[in-house]
Structure 1
Amino acid sequence: MPLNHRFLVCASTLLLLSSNAAAQSLTVLYPEIGEPYRAVFAEIIQGIEEQSKARAHTVPLAANSDAAELRGNAARVVIALGRQGLRAASALEPAPAIVVGGIGGSTDAERYTGISLTPDPALLFATLKGLLPGVRRVIVVYNPQTNAALIRIAQDAARTQGLELTALEAANLASAARIYETQLASADGCRDALWLPQDAVTVDENTILPLVLKESWTRSLPVFSSSVLHVKKGVLFGMYPNNQQLGRDLAALALSMQNGETVRREVTPLRAVRTALNTRTASHLGLNLVVSQQRNFDAIYPQP
């Protein structure tokens, strides 16, 4: 083979390999904010790069940034982290396909593809049954404006676990407080449990949470949460994101879209989770978990 022909063949091969590698590089828009959130986004991006096997094109967004540097960019798929990332990605021209992550469950699930920060109720209910197999009913107070879709998912998950889900609507703080007072007064700690979703209205940190913690402790009513912060304060268990795995899952969605595959337009609950347990509350409820059982949890409170 002539030297110049061999050179052209090698050059063509290198270009093809370069093109294939570039096809796996993903664009990620994320808020440029301080700790601890900066570390969270860094872990998600690490997972994205692990899944795509390529360095991501990351665009940190300062306050009021609109990601102007990406306008006219050829990226067909963008991973948008946080609401600021989503706003910036939505303003891009030409409009890319968007995969959203790091956003609460109130995102319009029918407009976007991605994964919310709300733990999948199926995982919460499975953990509940593993700890307390005698529980038959789960009570939840929710704001229909933000969590109606989550409750529909939870109804199916509860049936799968043989649980009855009593889902009670509360559109404001006063209504939520009245419902909690009624439910806590009549709940049976042997068969009932209370679920605290991610909901600023019905799980108000200053009013509702202290009420729930006090009454549930007095009545030995199991309470579990979609927030790890509540576990630190006294609920039995809760879940929080496995950030690197979330990044890998977001990248898998983005790569499928980038490769032209059909991906369902929906924002699904978070399944890449870690679980935290409050051993003091567990002991109060009669759950004396040995060390081997505690190893099933990623975080233990109070910390030894």
Structure 2
Amino acid sequence: MTTLLFNARPRPRAPRGASALLSLLLLAGPAPHAMADDLAPATAESAGLLERYDSGGQYGLQPLTVSQLEDQLRRPELQASVGQGGIAVFYPNVSEPFRSAFIGMIQGIEERTRLRVRSYAVDARVDAADLNAQLRRTGTKVVIALGRQGLNTAVALDRDIEVLVGGALLLSDAEIVNLNGISLTPDPALLFARLRTLLPDTRRVIVVYDPKKTEWLLRLAREAARGQGLELASYEARDLSQAAQLYATLFAGADSRRDAVWLPHDTTTVEEGTLLPLILKQAWNSGVPIFSSNVLHVKKGALFAMSPNNVELGRSLANSAEGAIAGERRKGVQPLRELHAAINLRTASHMGLNIGYQQQRTFDLIYPEP
């Protein structure tokens, strides 16, 4: 049997390979070579960009015969994708462990959509004119910008290309108003629901925040607290010194049986170098539970936190991208609901909480690690 060409195909899903092949044929280009390392230094020709077909090194090369090719091209999902354009993904050209997070998001995007996905690793050297030309040439309708660098790159795109942001911490009202997508900040509603499950006697959530960075999140948090029957006691702090003074006063007056302290993504009021250790010490000494939007805080002593489920986030972004192509109205930036949960059993024990085996199974990450 004569082999026509090689098709890069994912192990679990044949339609993705067919879609990649169809796109290549429509572009009348040569058969692609599998890329073992998507994040190798960019060449001069690509002006700081790397194009990755599907999932790069996760794919193997498999011979494709003429009859197999014809069968794949007849698939309904392939016929439906013809003429709809494609999706481009910008992700930061970074090293591990950050690279794996973005690759997980891209995996989710590719798994969910029937459209062709082209992924570009970007850095500050990107040539905007060259990038726009590439996107026009490939019929890109929507760009999913992952991370801060992906977002910074997408700002220079032609206005007729829809941009969705994901995998980035958005910390100002201006960004929230002008963008569309999913923030990396966990939805307060899910954090508060988890708090009520662990500590059903909690009645008040205390939070210190910088209004210049986190006011948009506090608006959501106030509504979420009402939905859980909680009082949200919020206190503004515009610098580290003011935040430190507030925490000392609040912990001294808090009731460990009815109060809990929430640490949002806020670089002013949850500064990692000097302020966070003081917060953790005050919480430990007072017995007042703290929970966080940053999973790394659980390893350091917070009771629980939530972190992104990168693959599921990618799937949600793919749904939004297809909706944008179909003409759905923009929804603004939404908080992250695709989450993993983490708990610190040592902190729980210190507080007198007995987290049984069945309850532990509701958490994806447990610290200290067994």
**TM-score if structure 1 supplies the norm length?**
0.91
Deviation at 1:67, TM superposition (A): 4.8
Trace 1:59-74 onto structure 2 (pairs within 5 A): 59-72=120-133, 73=136, 74=139
1:257 equivalent in alignment to 2:324: yes
Trace 1:218-297 onto structure 2 (pairs within 5 A): 218-264=285-331, 266-297=332-363
Distance 2:287 2:85 in 1: 52
Deviation at 1:66, TM superposition (A): 4.1
**Cα RMSD (Å):** 1.9
Deviation at 1:205, TM superposition (A): 1.1
Read off the aligned partner of 2:121 and give its amino acid letter. P
1:7 alignment counterpart: none
Question: Does the CA contact (< 8 Å) of 1:138 and 1:195 recur in 2?
Answer: yes
Write the deviation string for residues 142-182 of structure 1: whole angstroms up to 9, x where unpaired.
Answer: 01011000001000000110000001000100110111111
1:36 alignment counterpart: 97
Trace 1:1-304 onto structure 2 (pairs within 5 A): 17-18=78-79, 20-21=81-82, 23=84, 25-72=86-133, 73=136, 74-93=139-158, 95-106=160-171, 108-264=175-331, 266-304=332-370
Write the deviation string for residues 243-291 of structure 1: whole angstroms up to 9, x where unpaired.
Answer: 0000000110110001122232x11100000000000001111111111
Question: Does the CA contact (< 8 Å) of 1:27 and 1:56 recur in 2?
Answer: yes
* CA gap 1:70/1:19 in 2 versus in 1, 3 angstroms: farther
Question: Does the CA contact (< 8 Å) of 1:276 and 1:301 recur in 2?
Answer: yes
Distance 2:141 2:92 in 1: 21
Distance 1:109 1:177 in 2: 28
Percent sequence identity over aligned pairs = 50
* CA gap 1:44/1:75 in 2 versus in 1, 3 angstroms: same
Structure 1 runs of 4+ with >3 Å offset: 13-19, 66-69
Distance 1:137 1:20 in 2: 50
Read off the aligned partner of 1:78 and give its amino acid letter. V
Q: How many residues align?
A: 292
* CA gap 1:15/1:222 in 2 versus in 1, 3 angstroms: closer
Question: Does the CA contact (< 8 Å) of 2:207 and 2:233 recur in 1?
Answer: yes
Distance 1:288 1:215 in 2: 22
Deviation at 1:24, TM superposition (A): 6.7
Question: Does the CA contact (< 8 Å) of 1:142 and 1:199 recur in 2?
Answer: yes
Please list every run of 5 or more consecutive structure 2 residues that lacks an aligned counterpart in the other structure.
Answer: 1-69
Please list every run of 5 or more consecutive structure 1 residues that lacks an aligned counterpart in the other structure.
Answer: 1-9
Range with bigger deviation, 104-113 or 284-293: 104-113
1:5 alignment counterpart: none
Distance 1:21 1:245 in 2: 26
